[in-house]
């Protein structure tokens, strides 16, 4: 089955130590998104790539960076994680930005839960 | 099979009209329902609903959830051309798993 896969499922990192979360997709979707979700809150969009075109949300801290070396992979780099960065990080894909949901539309990975100690 | 169904699929109205968009769901382990607005960019978060019967409002937009009948509605009053977009409903199933509806494409004519 075509999927969005995030690794690892759980990541524990030290305060201030750079960490990278990864996402891969077999859907051949053009768009890849990174969301941050904290408990009882809606997912917050950090940035997205449309092909190689990077789009940062205005309120995404500089501490968060992303790379998309090819269609299939996208990485979230947190340069100096703080305690407030502990959250679930969700990767999602969509075929395009035309607003198509449902089957073949948005697909979320299972997330990486980041703990900062 | 879990599913999220939005209706109508598309809608054309005139400025000033009021519209109601529907989202019904059959999802095991429901946690929350989210509404997004999408123009030709990443979706913009509108509302997150977890409790039945409590209306959430933001300007001309409002939304309510009925967990007994398994649906939510998104209302837009006094529509403007800037409201033209695709409106997406997503249900969080279990923890951090999302199922999206197919969206309702709204076009508001001047």
CA dist B59 and A79 (Å) reads: 37
CA dist A66 and A69 (Å) reads: 10
Query: How far is residue B64 CA from its own chain's centroid?
Result: 10
Q: Does residue A111 come out as left (phi exceeding 0), alpha (psi in the -120 to 50 range) or beta?
A: left
pLDDT of A37: 87
- Report the residue of chain B nearest A88, measured CA to CA: B96
Over residues B14-59, the pLDDT tens digits come to: 999 999 999 999 998 898 899 999 887 777 889 989 889 999 999 9
CB of B85 within 8 Å of a chain A CB? The answer is: yes
Residue B71 in tokens: 């649906």
Q: Specify the higher pLDDT residue, B29 or B62.
A: B62
Distance from CA of A109 to the nearest CA of B (A): 8
Distance from CA of A45 to the nearest CA of B (A): 8
Neighbours of B13 (CB within 10 A): 16
pLDDT of A104: 40
pLDDT of B13: 96
Distance from CA of B88 to the nearest CA of A (A): 7
Which residues of chain B neighbour A41 with C-beta distances below 8 Å?
A: 48
* B48 contacts A41? CB cut-off 8 A: yes
Number of C-alpha atoms within 13 angstroms, CB side, residue A103?
Answer: 5
pLDDT of A101: 44
CB of B71 within 8 Å of a chain A CB? The answer is: no
Q: Using CB atoms within 10 A of its CB, is residue A86 exposed (0-12), middle (13-18) or buried (19+)?
A: middle
- Nearest CA-CA partner of A16 in A78, A87, A86, A89: A78
* B88 contacts A45? CB cut-off 8 A: no
Sign of the C-alpha dihedral computed for residues A92, A93, A96 and A101 taken in this order? negative
Per-residue pLDDT of chain A (117 residues; tens, 9 = 90+): 668 999 888 999 999 999 999 999 998 888 899 999 887 777 888 999 988 999 898 889 999 999 999 999 999 999 999 999 999 999 999 877 654 444 445 788 888 999 999
Q: Which residues contact A61 (CB under 8 A, 6 or more apart)?
A: none
Q: Using CB atoms within 10 A of its CB, is residue B17 exposed (0-12), middle (13-18) or buried (19+)?
A: middle
Over residues B88-110, the pLDDT tens digits come to: 999 988 766 778 888 899 999 99
């Amino acid at each position: 089955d075509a999927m969005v896969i995030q690794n690892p499922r759980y990541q524990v990192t030290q305060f201030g130590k750079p960490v990278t979360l990864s996402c891969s997709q077999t859907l051949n979707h053009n768009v890849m998104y990174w969301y941050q979700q904290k408990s009882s809150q809606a997912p917050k969009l950090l940035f997205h790539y449309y092909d190689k075109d990077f789009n940062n949300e205005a309120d995404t801290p500089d501490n968060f960076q992303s790379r998309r070396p090819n269609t299939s992979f996208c990485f979230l780099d947190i340069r100096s994680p703080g305690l407030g960065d502990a959250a679930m990080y969700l990767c999602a894909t969509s075929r395009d930005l035309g607003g198509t949901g449902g089957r073949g539309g948005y697909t979320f990975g299972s997330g990486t839960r980041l703990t900062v100690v | 099979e879990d599913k999220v169904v939005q209706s109508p699929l598309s809608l054309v109205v005139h400025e000033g009209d009021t519209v109601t968009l529907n989202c019904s769901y059959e999802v095991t382990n429901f946690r929350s329902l989210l509404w997004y607005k999408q123009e030709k960019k990443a979706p913009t978060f509108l509302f997150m609903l977890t409790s039945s019967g409590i209306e959430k409002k933001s300007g001309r937009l409002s939304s309510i959830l009925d967990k007994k009948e398994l649906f939510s509605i998104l209302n837009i009053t006094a529509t403007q051309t800037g409201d033209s977009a695709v409106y997406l409903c997503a249900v969080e199933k279990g923890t951090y798993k999302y199922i999206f509806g197919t969206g309702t494409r709204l076009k508001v004519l001047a």
